[in-house]
């Protein structure tokens, strides 16, 4: 399985635990979304096929940074770009909450 790592810098303030908790209705698992042990996971359907997205926080609320990994048997550059865009949209990292 191929994998790629990338970082996302959300617009502060950004609370990853609250965001991922909200997506899973604070149950840890909801539909295709899983948030366990500080890692948010979701299976994505991208142009090249299915890919597993995993995201965790490596920053703080006021200085947020997310470490992301995407895995797929058919991973290519286009899929990595799509995964980054999907992660940003799913987690609302470009939203200014101030």
pLDDT, average across residues 73-89: 98
- The sign one gets for the Cα dihedral 89, 68, 16, 49 is positive
Residue 3 is predicted with a pLDDT of 98
Q: Which two tokens stand for residue 69?
A: 């990994």
Q: How far is CA 17 from CA 31, 58, 64, 70, in A?
A: 18, 11, 11, 20
Domain count, the chain: 1
Q: Report the CATH number that the domain containing residue 23 is assigned in CATH.
A: 3.30.310.20
Q: Which two tokens stand for residue 19?
A: 């965001």
Residue 65 has pLDDT above 90, yes or no: yes
**pTM for the full predicted model:** 0.95
Domain that holds residue 18: 2-91
Q: Which two tokens stand for residue 24?
A: 């899973």
Q: Which two tokens stand for residue 34?
A: 């899983």
Residue 98 has pLDDT above 90, yes or no: no
Whether residue 10 lies inside any domain: the answer is yes
Whether residue 96 lies inside any domain: the answer is no
Residue 97 is predicted with a pLDDT of 86
């Amino acid at each position: 399985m191929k994998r790629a790592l990338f970082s996302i810098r959300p617009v502060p303030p950004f609370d990853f635990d609250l965001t991922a908790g909200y997506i899973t209705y604070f149950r840890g698992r909801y539909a295709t979304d899983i948030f366990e042990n500080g890692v948010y996971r979701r299976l994505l359907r991208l142009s090249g096929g299915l890919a597993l997205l995993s995201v965790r926080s490596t920053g703080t609320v006021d200085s947020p940074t997310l470490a992301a990994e995407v895995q797929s048997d058919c991973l290519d550059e286009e899929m990595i770009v799509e995964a980054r865009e999907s992660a940003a949209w799913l987690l609302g990292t470009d939203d200014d909450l101030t």
